[in-house]
Structure 1
Amino acid sequence: MHVFSSSLATVAALTLACASSLVTSDAHAWGKTGHRITGKIAEAYLTDEARAAIQALLGPESLAEASTYADEMRSNPSTFWQETAGPFHYVTLQQPHHYHAEDEPPQGDAMSALSDFTATLQNPDATREEKQLALRFIVHIIGDLHQPLHVGSAALNDRGGNDVKVVFFGEQSNLHRVWDSGLVDHQQLSYSEFSDWLQRKISTPQAQSWATPDPYAWINESSKLRDEVYPATDEPYLSWDYVYNYTPIMKQRLQQGGVRIAAYLNHVFAENQG
């Protein structure tokens, strides 16, 4: 498998470094429920080889449980969690819809982290603990990249919608939070209920067409959707109309995120077997 190189250009202008922090560390894509949904769906599409490799690393821990680890550790006082891992949850694009080498900031982002963690997972000299962290983060990152506002825009300069203040069903919020958890939690379903409902509706042709392990394709999709989900500037009050219009997109991104987690891990562990 081609490991998406973390050696992409790391020397960037100060303006790029600033733009790359559009999504701050308070952004938790999909929230716990959404991430667990993608992890649960992924388990249905794993190959036997990938399933065995994952079990060897995580034991009884499911991908649904593993999917939230990268958020749950944010308050860990270690240097890695406090100074390094924050940017690993998002990317910021200088161009409208495609990730390019110059988009990677010096501190890294979701793409560089995905590359590095994949290399760790494939490294025979990495420790089991290192591979566990890598696997948990990979599951989380793939989920993140399917949330449209985790593919930020330097041109918009709104921290992935965090600066877009809205009122969601009467409560003060922002657009990023609406997509992280508002639309998902509005369904009032547990992650297991929601993932079961969504998985049942994924047809075999859909699963086959979605099963690309290429993160550039996921980013392209999310960036185009990102441009569609902004409400009119004079309509900050979001309720039933917004839910009606965008819940289908939210559901499909969760479905696709789950299928792509499996596709990526199947690809990684198939090469390991080789």
Structure 2
Amino acid sequence: MSNRLRAAALAAALLPLASPAEAYWEYGHESVAGVAWLQMKPATRAAVARILKDGALLETPTCPVRTIEQASVWADCVKPLGDRFSYAYSWHYQNVDICRPFDLKSPCKDGNCVSAQIERDARLLADPATPRREKVMALAFLVHFVGDLHQPMHAGDHGDLGGNKVAANYGYIGGRMNLHSIWDGPLAERAISTPPGGPAGLLAAVSPERRAAIAAGSVTDWSREMWERARTLAYQTLLGDPCAKEGGARPTLSEAQTQALIPQVREDIVEGGIRLARLLDDALGPDHKAPGQKKPSAS
């Protein structure tokens, strides 16, 4: 077991249950950001770097955004700052019921869900009139929230705070572990570090044609995909019947189940990175495209 995984296991055993806003732990978010950095166009990398140079405007010195990897965890890092950023609590997830037809309308009421905020942040980045401070904040939020959306337990729910109330063991690791924290931490750790590991290893395994297919679609399409994976992979693998009421013995995600899930978790991460790169290429490119926006018709 790696030092990172030991630390994750210890944290899970000692800390209280994670809230639905606790996100993908650092390794998952940094990996999504790293994939995006490698995948985006050179001009986009330069634009991202220019925006991040304004990071001091956020006035969060304990939570720097000097690199895209630092920006990817900024939205979690600022949570201890209390009222300054408490408004963003519900933006990290969307509790879409896995046992009902897919529907974002109720979970995203008034825009308070991860997919709505992804689109909002992309629009802010695409708008040349957005002030510099708001632009760097939109970039940090966007990088983080695309990572959140591609962790299935942030996209699907069964009345249990995205699996936070489903007590579970990860192999022999128990304590305060739950379905959500397993996917946030040790399972992501195993998947990312499986050779070929890291952002470069993850991306190298995907052909250019496959990358183009992954980048296609809308934020709603991606939300539907991750909601379905929450049902068929996360809940079903652990519980058998994803819609059953919790009860009986505390379930355990076995080593065999973990090995079977690793390829899909790797795919979740690389998809998040490729799609983040597309959003940034669109928003920061010459056409300043953003999700859901139509170009004005020629007069």
**Structure 2 length normalisation: TM-score?**
0.74
| Structure 1 equivalent of residue 19 of structure 2 | 24
1:107 positional shift: 7.0
1:53 counterpart (44, 47, 52): 47
Q: For structure 2, list consecutive stretches of 5 or more residues without a partner in the other structure.
A: 1-17, 54-64, 241-248, 290-294
* 8 Å Cα contact 2:96/2:156 also seen in 1: yes
How does 1:1-274 map onto structure 2 within 5 Å?
24-28=19-23, 30-59=24-53, 61-77=66-82, 79-82=83-86, 84-93=87-96, 96=100, 98-106=102-110, 108-153=112-157, 156-172=158-174, 173-186=177-190, 189=193, 193-212=197-216, 214-228=218-232, 229-230=234-235, 231-232=238-239, 236-270=251-285, 271-272=287-288
Using the TM superposition, give the Cα deviation of residue 66 of structure 1 relative to its aligned residue in structure 2, in angstroms: 1.4
Kindly indicate whether the alpha-carbon contact (under 8 Å) linking 1:97 and 1:223 is maintained by their aligned counterparts in 2: no
Q: Which has the higher strand share?
A: 1
- Relative to structure 1, the CA distance from residue 119 to residue 232 in structure 2 (aligned partners, 3 Å threshold; closer, same or farther) is closer
Distance 1:225 1:177 in 2: 16
Provide the C-alpha distance between the structure 2 equivalents of 1:204 and 1:87, rounded to a whole number of angstroms: 35
- Which is worse superposed, 123-132 or 170-179? 123-132
Distance 2:133 2:217 in 1: 24
In 2, are the aligned partners of 1:146 and 1:254 still within 8 Å (CA)? yes
Q: Which amino acid aligns with 1:87?
A: S
CA drift of 1:200 comes to 1.6
Q: How far, CA to CA, are the matches of 1:187 and 1:118 in structure 2?
A: 28
Structure 2 CA distance for aligned equivalents of residues 267 and 99 of structure 1: 26
In 1, are the aligned partners of 2:32 and 2:269 still within 8 Å (CA)? Answer: yes
* Shift in Å, 1:106: 4.2
CA distance in 1, matches of 2:259, 2:277: 29
**% identical aligned pairs:** 24
Task: Give the C-alpha shift of residue 50 in structure 1.
Answer: 1.8
Q: Shift in Å at residue 112 of structure 1?
A: 2.6
What is the aligned residue count?
246
In structure 1, list runs of 5 or more residues that go unmatched: 1-22
Once the two structures are superposed, residues 42-97 of structure 1 have per-residue CA deviations (whole angstroms, 9 ceiling, x without a partner) of 112212332222121014933222111111111113x3412x01111111225746
Amino acid of the residue matched to residue 75 of structure 2? A
Instruction: Find the aligned partners of 1:50 and 1:98 in 2 and give their Cα distance.
Output: 33
Partner deviation per Cα, 1:14-55 (whole Å, 9 max, x = no partner):
xxxxxxxxx935521x21001111110111221233222212
Give yes or no for contact 1:147–1:222 (8 Å, CA) kept in 2. Answer: yes
Post-superposition offset of 1:120: 2.2
Instruction: Judge conservation of contact 1:97–1:220 (CA < 8 Å) in 2.
Output: no
Find the aligned partners of 1:239 and 1:144 in 2 and give their Cα distance. 24
TM-score w.r.t. length of structure 1: 0.81
| Offset at residue 124 of structure 1 (A) | 3.1
SS in 2 for 1:101: coil
Letter in 2 for 1:27: E
Q: What code does the residue aligned with 2:76 have?
A: D
Cα 1:62/1:99, change in 2 over 3 Å:
farther
Q: For 1:259, what is the secondary structure of its paired residue?
A: helix
Note if contact 1:213-1:264 (Cα within 8 Å) is conserved in structure 2.
Answer: no
Q: 1:268 to 1:26 in 2, by over 3 A?
A: closer
User: What is the one-letter code of the residue matched to 1:261?
Assistant: L
Give the secondary structure class of the aligned counterpart of 1:205: helix
